[in-house]
Amino acid sequence: MPRIQQLPESVITKIAAGEVIERPASVVKELVENSIDAGARRIDVSVDQGGTDLIRVVDDGSGIAPDDLPLALASHATSKLISADDLFHIASLGFRGEALASIGGVAQVSIQSRQPDQLVGAELSCQGSELGSVRPWNGSPGTRIEVRHLFYNTPVRRKFLRAIPTEMGHVCEAFTRLALAQPDVHMTLKHGGKDVYEVPATAQLLDRLRLFFGKEIHDKLYGVEAEAGPARLHGFVADPSCERGNAKLQYLFLNGRWIRDRSLGHALQEAYRGLLMTGRYAVAFLFLELPPDLVDVNVHPTKMEVRFRDGQGLYSLVFNAIRLRLNQANLTPRLQAPSTLGPPRAPFAAGLPVPPTWLQEPIPAYTPTQVVGGVTQPSNAPPMLLDETPSFKAIQLYNAYLVLETAEGMLVIDQHALHERILFEQLKRRVRAGDLETQALLIPEPVELTAEQAARTLEQRDALAQLGLGVEDFGGGTVLLTSYPALLGKRAPQTILKAVVDHLASKERVPTREQLFSDLLSLMACHGAVRSGDALTPEEIAALVAQRDLADDTHHCPHGRPTSLLFSRHDLDRQFRRV
Ligand code: ADP
Ligand code: MG
């Protein structure tokens, strides 16, 4: 065993940096937090190459005295904390005195700063913890920090960085969190010189929510306000129809700081119980204010997790406030009973006047099988019998199931599961054969996403194109949908894209092409398929039943649920004691 040695300062700094600085977005977070702590009214962030090349943060805050500059870059040096006691009354975002030193250890940093009441300021640069000398600087009041070539001296960490759009997505997310927490500060973000966000100061949180998350969500928000003892909760929760496939649009802030908290996240989800399907997530923007001595923020290096004195009390506060608000919003009937079950329909009742788009899918050459009067007959006739009454006996029940008489017995088909399976097979076959027909949109549909979602989506642009989904960057978190697979008909291509986006965002790592294709095909099939609750016309029922024979595995939907159940003739007869 080698002897125990005290580690050199430069190694200590790199180790500390490992905890605080994970990627360019972490640098943006730390620098902007410092600007906010310095009382800045305006903060301009610009980055190049997703922040891997350059991150510049300029503020108009209180500045740093020239003599203090070297200290700002030293470990455990802070102006925000003097005694250990202060740790329990933290009112600033920073207090560990670690961020600038950490960044200085793994990048090339230059700081220029002037205090507003001084005629001259000073500048200092730092390369991998090596400080230059303090020189006079004559810029405008405030602080300007540039961080170049992050992880230039820690190649392993540099390798961990993801593609530029992904890193930029994280930067945007960090920026969004900071901007939501401080609506009264004017903030801007540029990437490669181009505007990403221009966020004017406002007294209204709603303005910011609209700017970052779009009109669609903005228009469906319910304000929440509640108090319990010294704790105060305010913010907005979205109508259940805004639900998402992951929890990314659940924002929680504590005393102006974005935090993650499992328990409060659970309280939020519980408040939506009965309004969302399992696996779906509410959208919410919640702000908690607590006296600083009721919370320990010193449990996590990036301070994204905290410990509450009275976690249970806060759980109840969040749950009750949101539940009450959703009840007031008159969502109560939906809380009790899902309304998908309509009255049973008469066989072949008149249905929609317009033929559904999925009927328009031309059936590839094959010998279709028709079920006629309980006898299975091969036939060369087109399976879609559009102008004749279908000749097999099938009825729709509960707008969800098709009951069919076959030679073997009574077949009960789950209309959604079967159609989903058929679409899945068709999509898969065509993508494989490279002849997936796409439908171009005459006017591309703008789809508003968060910047991170937009980045993740654009990162997969080629893969999506192969699946028939054409996407293009429109800037500012908006993606243009230019085409979609013709097979899916006109079933809200936007919705399908959003489901795809949610799926991409829910993945921790980049999926393999194979995995991505299989996931997205089943997702598109699911969204493109008729639903449980859709009333079908006789023609639609006929087409669906006829297409049954086209699929390789019609017994299971892509999620593994059965698509049909057979009650054999023999069993029926036996149950009724006929045999
Ligand atoms: P902390 O924020 O935990 O104190 P940092 O390493 O982030 O530690 O910053 C060290 C010190 O540098 C801060 O305490 C503050 O005094 C000073 N400082 C950093 N950034 C700014 C800024 N933008 N404006 C004014 N002072 C700053
Ligand atoms: Mg700080």
Transcribe 72-86 into DSSP letters: HTSTT--SS--SGGG
Of 67-71, 199-203, 462-466, give the lowest mean pLDDT range.
462-466
- Nearest ligand to the CA of 109 is 1
What is the end-to-end Cα distance of the chain in Å, rounded?
A: 84
Token reading at 9? 């300062």
- What CA–CA distances, in Å, run from 437 to 232, 273, 466, 483, 523? 54, 40, 10, 10, 18
Which of 200 and 541 is assigned the larger pLDDT?
200
The CATH code that applies to domain 205-329 is 3.30.230.10
Joined tokens for residue 46? 């610009």
- Reading across the β-sheet that carries 438-448, which strands appear in turn? 438-448, 478-485, 470-475
CB atoms within 10 A of CB 294: 15
- The full set of domain ranges for the chain reads 9-199, 205-329, 353-579
Residue 266: how many other CB atoms lie within 10 Å: 13
The rounded Å distance from CA 268 to ligand 1 centre is 34
Task: Report how far residue 403's alpha carbon sits from residue 395's, in angstroms, rounded to the nearest whole number.
Answer: 5
What gap in Å lies between CA 300 and CA 307, rounded to an integer?
A: 10
* Mean pLDDT on 317-331: 86
Q: Tell me the CATH class for 9-199.
A: alpha beta
Q: Is residue 346 over pLDDT 50?
A: no
96 ligand 1 Cβ < 6 A: yes
Q: pLDDT-derived band of residue 208, with 50, 70 and 90 as boundaries?
A: very high
3-state helix, strand, coil in the chain (%, to 5): 40, 25, 35
Q: Using the predicted structure, report yes or no on whether residue 178 has a pLDDT greater than 80.
A: yes
- Tell which residue, 312, 452, 559, 327, has the closest CA to residue 28: 452
Question: What whole-number distance in Å separates Cα of residue 165 and Cα of residue 49?
Answer: 8
User: Coil, strand or helix: which one is 415?
Assistant: helix
Cβ(545)–Cβ(514) below 8 Å: no
> 78 in ligand 1 pocket by Cβ < 6 Å?
yes
Q: What is the mean pLDDT of residues 382-386?
A: 38
Give me the pLDDT at residue 354, please.
31
Cβ 72 under 6 angstroms from ligand 1: yes
| Mean pLDDT calculated for residue range 215-230 | 94
- Judged by average pLDDT, the poorest of 65-69, 193-197, 561-565 is 561-565
d(Cα 64, Cα 121) in Å, to the nearest integer?
A: 8
Ligand 1 pocket check for 313: Cβ under 6 Å: no
Q: Residue 149 has what DSSP assignment? A: S
What integer pLDDT is reported at residue 424 of this predicted model?
A: 85
- At residue 487, the 3 state secondary structure works out as helix
Under the banding of pLDDT at 50, 70 and 90, the label for residue 550 is low
Residues 6+ apart with CB under 8 A from 274: 334, 335, 336
> Per-residue pLDDT averaged across 533-550, rounded?
81
> Which of 26, 27, 33, 34 has most ligand 1 atoms within 8 Å of its beta carbon, as the pocket-test mutant?
34
Residue 53 has pLDDT above 90, yes or no: yes
Average pLDDT on 28-39 reads: 97
At 330 the pLDDT is 62
197-201, 209-213, 533-537: the lowest-pLDDT one: 533-537
Q: How confident is the model at residue 549 (pLDDT cuts 50, 70, 90)?
A: low
For residue 241, the surrounding DSSP H or E stretch is none
Positive or negative torsion for Cα 260, 282, 455, 463 = positive
> 121-127 and 108-114 as β-strands: parallel, antiparallel, unpaired?
antiparallel
| Ligand 1 centroid distance, CA of 66 (Å) | 13
* pLDDT at residue 533 is higher than 50: yes
Over range 81-95, report the average pLDDT.
82
Return the pLDDT at 350.
29
Q: Does 11 score more than 90 pLDDT?
A: no
Confidence of residue 331 (pLDDT cuts 50, 70, 90): low
Q: pLDDT value at position 103? A: 95
Contacts of 68 (CB under 8 A, 6+ apart): 79
Q: What is the mean pLDDT of residues 376-385?
A: 31
The highest-confidence range among 57-71, 339-353, 556-570, by mean pLDDT, is 57-71
What pLDDT is stored for residue 521 in this prediction?
85
User: Is any atom of ligand 1 closer than 6 Å to the C-beta of 558?
Assistant: no
- Which residue of 55, 100, 117, 140 sits with most ligand 1 atoms within 8 Å of its CB, as the best mutation to test the pocket? 100
| CA 54 to each of CA 27, 51, 127, 151, 168: distance values in angstroms, whole numbers, following the listed order | 10, 5, 14, 12, 12
Lowest-confidence segment of 69-78, 275-284, 380-389 by average pLDDT? 380-389
Q: What confidence tens digit (pLDDT) does each residue in 185-201 have? A: 999 999 999 999 999 99
Q: How far is the CA of 78 from the centre of ligand 1 (A)?
A: 6
Least confident of 229-243, 270-284, 310-324: 270-284
Per the model's pLDDT, the better-predicted residue between 277 and 189 turns out to be 189
- Measured in residues, the chain has a length of 579
Q: How many CB atoms lie within 10 A of CB 403?
A: 15
> What is the distance, to the nearest Å, from the Cα of residue 191 to the centroid of all Cα atoms in its chain?
21
In the block, residue with structure tokens 């669609």? 216
Is the CB–ligand 1 distance for residue 98 below 6 Å?
yes
Do residues 271 and 224 lie in contact, with contact meaning Cβ atoms separated by under 8 Å? Answer: no
Nearest ligand, measured from the Cα of 143: 1
Asked whether the CA dihedral 114, 115, 121, 123 is positive or negative, the reply is: negative
- Contact yes or no for 28/55 (Cβ under 8 A): yes
Question: How do residues 399-408 score in pLDDT, each as one tens digit?
Answer: 999 998 887 7
Pairwise CA distance, residues 475 & 194, whole Å: 9
Task: Please give the number of the atom of ligand 1 that sits closest to the Cα of 63.
Answer: 25
Residue 555 has a pLDDT of 59
pLDDT at 70: 95
Instruction: Say yes or no to pLDDT of 250 above 70.
Output: yes
Atom of ligand 1 nearest to the CA of 98: 6
60 vs 410, which has greater pLDDT?
A: 60
| pLDDT tens by residue, 423-432 | 888 888 888 8
Range name among 84-88, 364-368, 479-483, 553-557 with the lowest pLDDT average: 364-368
Most confident of 116-120, 272-276, 435-439: 116-120
Closest CA to 413 of 423, 402, 405: 402
CATH for 353-579, among 3.20.20.80, 3.30.1370.100, 2.40.50.140, 3.40.50.1980?
3.30.1370.100
Dist. CA 112–CA 125, nearest whole Å: 9
Mean pLDDT of 15-44: 93
The predicted-structure confidence for 301-312, as pLDDT tens digits, reads as follows: 788 899 999 999
Which pairing describes strands 54-59 and 42-48: parallel, antiparallel, or unpaired? antiparallel
Q: How confident is the model at residue 388 (pLDDT cuts 50, 70, 90)?
A: very low
Q: How far apart are CA 561 and CA 316, in angstroms?
A: 37
pLDDT at 148 over 90: yes
- Say what percent of the chain tops pLDDT 90: 41
Using a 10 angstrom Cβ sphere, with 0-12 exposed, 13-18 middle and 19 or more buried, the burial of residue 155 is exposed
d(CA 147, CA 55): 5
pLDDT exceeds 80 at position 146: yes
Of 9-13, 245-249, 506-510, 518-522, minimum mean pLDDT range:
506-510
What pTM was computed for the model? 0.64
Ligand nearest to the CA of 57: 1
With a 6 A CB cut-off, is 112 part of the ligand 1 pocket? no
User: Out of 225-229, 361-365, 409-413, which region has the weakest mean confidence (pLDDT)?
Assistant: 361-365
Q: Which two tokens stand for residue 342?
A: 């309509």
Is residue 28 within 8 Å of 175, Cβ to Cβ?
Answer: yes
What is the pairing mode between strands 564-568 and 409-414?
A: antiparallel
Q: Is 30 in the pocket of ligand 1 (CB under 6 A)?
A: yes
